Amino acid sequence: FPKEKLLEWYLNYNFYGNLAYGVEAASQVYFGKSARDLNLAEAAMLAAIPQYPALNPIDNPEDAKRRQGVTLQAMV
């Protein structure tokens, strides 16, 4: 399968906590907007969630913020 298709599957079927499966559902749950409207900081927050879904902005805001920072640092 092409890399783009694998990434699409990963983003659309992963669990993001709080009954959100897929990045679009997670975007709606955590930010109240479509994934296409996320800014870099919000996207980094969501990118960090699938590895540890309990560390999400609703249930663990401080840990989620810390993991967001790690994700942003990894991008530099």
Q: What is the pLDDT of residue 45?
A: 96
Q: Which residue carries 């309990």 as its tokens?
A: 54
Q: What residues have CB less than 8 Å from 11, skipping those under 6 apart? A: 22, 23
Q: What is the pLDDT of residue 14?
A: 96
CA distances from 46 to 2, 9, 38, 62 (A): 23, 15, 10, 14
Which residues are registered as beta bridge partners of 15? 21
Q: What is the pLDDT of residue 5?
A: 94
Dump pLDDT digits (tens) for 5-62: 999 999 999 999 999 999 999 999 999 999 999 999 999 999 999 999 999 999 999 9
Quick one: fold of 3-74?
Penicillin binding protein transpeptidase fold (1.10.3810)
Nearest residue to 18 via CA among 7, 6, 31: 31
Q: What is the pLDDT of residue 71?
A: 95
Q: Parse the chain into domains and list their residue ranges.
A: 3-74
